[in-house]
C-alpha cells in the first residue's frame, strides 16, 4: 500500500502540472471504487481551476473555488501524467483532461482508491478526525506522551493509529521505533516523555528521509510507466527478520502486533 512518503512523492510529482490548470473534462471509466464515485463529480469539477494541490494524511486534495476533490490511492492506486490520446490501460478508472496535450490518469487494479467531492474538506468524515501531520508543527513528543497516558496498547499500534498521528504505516513505524530504541510491543502508556521526544524525532527523520529519497523518482510521474519506485530507501529492520541487526549484529526477531508483522532487535530496542 502506498504510504505517506509515497503519497507525498506523488503530490510533488504532479503538483507543478496541476496547480493553476483547469480541468476541462473528467472521464469516469469505472465508478465502483472503495466508495462509488459520485455521479455528479464531473459536473462539480469540470471547468474548475485547481488552485492548490495539498495532502492530508494519505489523501490528496484538489482545491478549487467550488470545493475540493478528494483522491485516495487505496492499496494499489497510482496517478500518471500523459497525453490524452494515449491508449488507456487495464484498470485505468478516471481521467482528468488538463490541456490538449496533458491528462492525469488514475489506475487502480484492486479498486480500493477513492475520488470524492466536498465543499468543506476539513469537516469531511474521512478527514475531520485525523491526527496531526508528523512533519507539521502540531506533532511532538509531548503530543504523543499526553495521548498515550493510560493506554495499554502496544506503542507500534499506537503510533499507527491515524487519530494520534497520520501516515505512520507499518514500514515506517517499525523503522522509527528501531531508530528510537523502543521495543514495538511496549505499552504506549509506559513510555516516558523523554523517550517520546526521541520517538517523535525518529518518526520525522524516517519519513523525511523516505520523502527525500522518493524525490529521486519524481520524473517517473511524467513518463508513461507511472512507476514511482516505492520503498527504494534503505530499511534497517522491516522485511529483515532473521538477518543481522545493522547496529549490533544480533539476529532480528519477528512477531505479530495488531495483525501486522513487525521486526525488531531485542538488544537495541527496549
The answer on 184 and 79 residing in a single domain is no
Q: Is 116 in the same domain as 151?
A: no
Q: What are the residue numbers of the active site?
A: 2-3, 58, 260
| Count of beta carbons in the 10 Å neighbourhood of residue 83 | 11
C-beta of residue 49 within 8 angstroms of C-beta of residue 20: yes
pLDDT < 70 positions in the chain: 1, 215-233
Residue 143 is labelled as binding a ligand: no
Please give the angle made by the CA atoms of 136, 4 and 252, to the nearest 5 degrees: 105
Q: Which domain holds residue 177?
A: 141-264
Residue 110 assigned ligand-binding role: yes
Q: Is 12 annotated as a binding residue?
A: no
Model pLDDT for residues 42-83, shown as the tens digit of each residue: 999 999 999 999 999 999 999 999 999 999 999 899 999 999
pTM assigned to the model: 0.90
DSSP string of 46-74, one letter each residue: TT-B--EEEEETTEEEEE-SS-EEEEE-T
- Which grid coordinates are listed for 194? 523523554
Q: Residue length, the chain?
A: 270
Whether 130 maps to a domain, the answer reads no
Task: Tell me, yes or no, whether 94 and 179 share the same domain.
Answer: no
In the chain, the number of structural domains is 2
For 85-110, b/e burial (b = at least 16 CB within 10 A) is eeeeeebbbbbbbbeeebbbbbbbee
The DSSP 8-state label assigned to residue 226 in this structure reads -
Tell me the C-alpha distance between 221 and 250, whole Å.
40
Claim to verify: residue 105 and residue 155 sit in the same structural domain = no
> What's the mean per-residue pLDDT of the chain?
92
Amino acid at each position: 500500500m502506498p504510504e505517506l512518503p509515497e503519497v507525498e512523492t506523488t503530490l510533488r510529482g504532479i503538483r507543478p502540472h496541476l496547480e493553476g490548470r483547469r480541468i476541462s473534462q473528467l472521464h469516469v471509466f469505472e465508478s465502483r471504487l472503495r466508495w462509488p464515485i459520485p455521479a455528479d463529480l464531473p459536473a462539480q469539477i469540470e471547468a474548475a481551476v485547481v488552485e492548490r494541490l495539498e495532502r492530508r494524511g494519505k489523501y490528496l486534495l484538489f482545491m478549487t473555488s467550488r470545493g475540493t476533490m478528494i483522491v485516495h490511492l487505496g492499496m494499489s492506486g497510482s496517478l500518471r501524467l500523459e497525453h490524452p490520446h494515449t491508449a488507456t490501460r487495464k484498470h485505468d478508472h478516471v481521467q482528468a483532461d488538463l490541456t490538449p496535450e496533458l491528462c492525469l490518469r488514475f489506475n487502480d487494479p484492486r479498486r480500493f482508491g477513492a475520488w470524492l467531492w466536498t465543499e468543506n474538506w476539513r469537516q469531511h468524515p474521512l478527514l475531520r478526525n485525523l491526527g496531526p501531520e508528523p512533519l507539521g508543527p502540531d506533532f511532538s513528543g509531548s503530543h504523543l506522551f499526553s495521548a498515550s497516558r493510560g493506554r495499554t496498547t502496544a506503542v507500534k499500534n499506537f503510533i499507527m493509529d491515524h487519530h494520534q498521528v497520520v501516515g505512520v504505516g507499518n514500514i515506517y513505524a517499525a523503522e522509527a521505533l528501531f531508530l528510537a530504541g523502543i521495543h514495538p510491543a511496549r505499552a504506549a502508556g509506559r513510555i516516558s516523555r523523554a523517550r517520546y521526544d526521541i520517538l517523535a524525532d525518529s518518526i520525522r527523520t524516517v519519513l523525511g528521509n523516505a520523502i527525500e529519497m522518493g524525490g529521486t523518482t519524481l520524473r517517473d510521474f511524467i513518463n508513461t510507466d507511472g512507476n514511482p519506485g516505492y520503498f527504494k530507501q534503505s530499511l534497517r529492520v522491516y522485511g529483515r527478520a532473521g538477518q543481522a541487526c545493522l547496529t549490533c549484529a544480533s539476529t532480528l526477531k519477528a512477531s505479530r502486533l495488531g495483525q501486522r508483522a513487525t521486526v525488531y532487535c531485542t538488544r537495541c530496542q527496549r
